[in-house]
Amino acid sequence: MTIIEIVKSLRLQQWIKNLFVFAPLIFSQNILNRPLLLKTFEAFVAFCLVSSAHYIFNDLRDLQEDRRHPVKSLRPLASGRLKKGSAVAALVVIGTAGLALAASINLPFLLMAAGYLVLQTVYSMWLKHVVILDIFVIAAGFLIRVVAGGLAIKVEISSWLLICTTLLALFLAMGKRRYELVLLDKDAVSHRPILKEYNTYLLDQMISVVTASTLLAYCLYTISAETVAKFGTRKLIFTVPFVLYGIFRYLYLIHQKAGGGTPEALIIRDKPLLADIFLWITAAALILHFK
């Protein structure tokens, strides 16, 4: 059925990325504030709709390339199960609904959601062919979600949160590029031309730099005077082992299990990684809210 194929084209599994809009709510210690929690949930739904509209647009634009891809060829549009006309109609309806919901939250959030949509469109049409910058644009998508989450509930966003988000997003984006190189091997360039500018050695060097930077930034964040003054505790340092294990586990999955193509799916499927994230969230919540 067309409806089922449209739902599949929304890539519901990738909605996990939009959970980044909850970061300002959590780190501003407002997780128990019901009005702000509901407002953040609205922001989450708005980003889910807007991002799904872009996924459909991307599938329409890359239709011919996706049909030659070993994995993407199974998508509704590439496989022919979903017609172009139906996809275009779904894109317009879902995109409009997402922007309308964003407008109901507040104007700054609407501008941020629209900016995200414009950036992703420019990425699909041009920036994905610019070496290194393509990775930064992928990372920018995560950063925009965090900033948008702060704008939705009108709270100030810590510079540490922005730094850690950016580094983590770069880590995930580089892992994605490495996965594509390994999966496609000699056919990599025919599927994604920008991959001719990369090789696994270069990406491994870049990942090493970002990995160290991410861990260092998070460690400094937990013990910074700003953090201690804001939360009234020095115990956030005890969450560092969870972050350390999570990054090492992800690196293991990238190098030993050839994962990383879709970080959200990898997180959901890998039980140790999922358990680690749950434990980190639990530890942070207990430290921040039950001092």
pLDDT digits (tens, 9 = 90+) for 99-155: 999 999 999 999 999 999 999 999 988 888 899 999 999 999 999 999 999 999 999
- pLDDT band of residue 209 (cuts 50, 70, 90) is very high
Q: Are residues 173 and 138 in the same domain?
A: no
Query: Domain total for the chain?
Result: 2
Do 198 and 131 have their domain in common? Answer: no
Q: How confident is the model at residue 220 (pLDDT cuts 50, 70, 90)?
A: very high
Based on the domain organization, do 152 and 165 belong to the same domain?
A: no
pLDDT digit string, tens, across residues 2-56: 788 887 888 888 888 899 999 999 888 888 899 999 999 999 999 999 999 999 8
* CATH (domain of 107): 1.10.357.140
Residue 126 phi/psi, 5° resolution? -145, -55
Residue 188, pLDDT score: 60
148 and 55 share a domain?
yes
Residue 206: what pLDDT? 94
Assess whether 1 and 129 both reside in one domain. yes
- Domain end position, chosen among 157, 180, 206: 157
| Matching residue, tokens 């709709």 | 49
Expressed as residue numbers, the domain containing 34 is 1-157
Q: Which of 157, 188, 220 is the last residue of a domain?
A: 157
Tell me, yes or no, whether 226 and 275 share the same domain.
yes
Please indicate, yes or no, whether residues 242 and 256 belong to a single structural domain of this protein: yes
Do 27 and 112 fall into the same domain? yes
Residues 148 and 277 in one domain: no
Average pLDDT, the chain: 87
Task: Report the distance separating Cα 147 and Cα 136, nearest Å.
Answer: 16
For the full predicted model, state whether its pTM sits above 0.85: yes
State which of 122, 157, 192 marks the end of a domain.
Answer: 157
Confidence grade of residue 270 (pLDDT, cut at 50, 70, 90): confident
Q: Are both 132 and 18 inside the same structural domain?
A: yes
More confident residue, 252 or 193: 252
Residues 122 and 243 in one domain: no
Does residue 165 sit in the same domain as residue 151? Answer: no
